[in-house]
Amino acid sequence: MESLYIVLLMAALICGFIAATIAEQKWLSWGGYFAFGFFFGPIGILAAVLAATRVPAQGAPQSRSDAATAPSAISEQLKELSELHASGVLTDDEFRAAKAKLLS
């Protein structure tokens, strides 16, 4: 009997995490959908799948990883541009235009 409770708890946790992960990708409440998936199982997962995607506020990063990596990604691209310019692949005008586009 005790093993049945453990199996049910594991199933509830799995359903909760699946529902929460789907909801998070749609910019919805992680905790709310976790609880819904935990208590209602597959119905919570279905609700997260069918929920409309919320549009993030203007100026907000498009994904949670963009906020942390955006400055380093830009610096990496600037390094690549400068290497291409130094090796002669890009002309001065092309380098300036690409740099201006990247920094805008």
Give the number of C-alpha atoms closer than 13 A to the C-alpha of residue 42, restricted to the C-beta side. Answer: 0
- Average pLDDT of every residue of the chain: 82
Which has more confidence, 104 or 15? 15
Residue 63: band (very low, low, confident or very high) from pLDDT cuts 50, 70, 90: low
pLDDT per position as a tens digit, 19-55: 999 988 888 888 998 998 999 999 988 888 888 877 6
Structure tokens that stand for 95 in this block: 């380098």
CA distance 43 to 30: 16
Q: What are 64's two structure tokens?
A: 């949670």
Residue 31: how many CB atoms within 10 A of its CB? Answer: 11
Comparing CA positions, the residue from 64, 59, 9, 60 lying closest to residue 38 is: 9
Tokens of 29: 């409440």
pLDDT for residue 68:
46
